[in-house]
Chain A
Amino acid sequence: MIDTSTVFDDVVELICGLVGDDLDILGVEVRRDTAFHEDLGLESIDLVTLGGLLAERFGPRVNLAAHLAEYDLDDVIGLTVGEIAEYVADRLREED
């Protein structure tokens, strides 16, 4: 059984690692509706790194690249932390 809140916390941790101290300084709290680009100031090129981090943490079945292939570019830009966490949880559930 996958605990979605644990997955969310894990994803947040990865993203905090990616963004670094900047979150503290910007005073941004990472929540489900925190947007990757708008709130965290990340560029689409940064998804490459996030994809790598997710695969490293959760295994190769979590393939952000394959997942986002379905998305329009606008949707990718507007991606939220919650959406990423949900996808990870889905994949892990399928794995079980």
Chain B
Amino acid sequence: MNYQNLSPQLRRSIWPVAGLLVLLLTNVLIAPEFFSIEIKDGRLYGSLIDVLNRAAPVALLAIGMTLVIATGGVDLSVGSVMAIAGAVSAGLIVSGVDSVFLVIGGGLLAGLAAGFVNGFLVGYFGIQPIVATLILMVAGRGVAQLINSGQIVTFHHEGFEFLGVGYLFGLPFPIILVIITFVLVQLLMRRTALGLFVEGVGANASASHYIGINDKLIKLMVYCLSGLCAALAGMIAAADIGGSDANNAGLWLELDAILAVVIGGASLMGGRFSLFLSIIGALIIQALTITIILSGVPPKFNLLIKAAAIIVILLLQSPEFRRQLGRIKQWRRA
């Protein structure tokens, strides 16, 4: 099949999906048991499930981050928002709230509030996204510590812990949560015109204004969604360890989330987005980590390899770099 004849969507999907497949195949070659999945007590176990489960928080963040980046912005605060949401939920549990809905609702509300602050600063105040979200990135961990009174708050609450360690339909619940969030956001974006408007605002803010799209409201909305996704990820992290650690919950995950979106092929300038590809991006990051472990390379090389991967992907996206590549090809042919 001719590469040029593929539809643009399909063409965009090829690289991330191929990248993930290559990584997975490498893993199988190194460790043949990689693809083997066991069923114990109606639950699935195996390396593949592990990859999915560990990628869940970043995948959730990536869903929100995708929308933010599609409008031409970026949300640096998601790691801190994770810490806040975890702290709020933990705080509710230890203060005697029993209803799992209230606990989760409290965490989500915290995320929504954080997203609202970000979105308001970016959309209505006109502050650059990096700058606006930097504020909460710095202050957010302080807020989380304040809620926790500086302690690592541990708790025991079966209903809430289900978020992190539960199983549903044989799969770890975080995976299910990612699937549900993905489906909901995908429906919201693609079954209504919101996705179209988000892409429009990112692709050409001025043209959106001339058509009468309410670009400020769109921006507010995507940051709110990003806050909600971060809150969900934060609660999974807290439920997983049965405690809220304001210092370390979600630390540096904002960077992984941005990376996942970039690996998924989205432009940081805004425009086209694909939630599916961003999740593939999150899986690639996790699969890469596992590949490093399986291949016997000491895990200390992890970050270095990740850095190299970002540089390569960024360069491949740069038109100037492609031009240089093209010139080298021509020169070799001549």
A and B part of one assembly: no
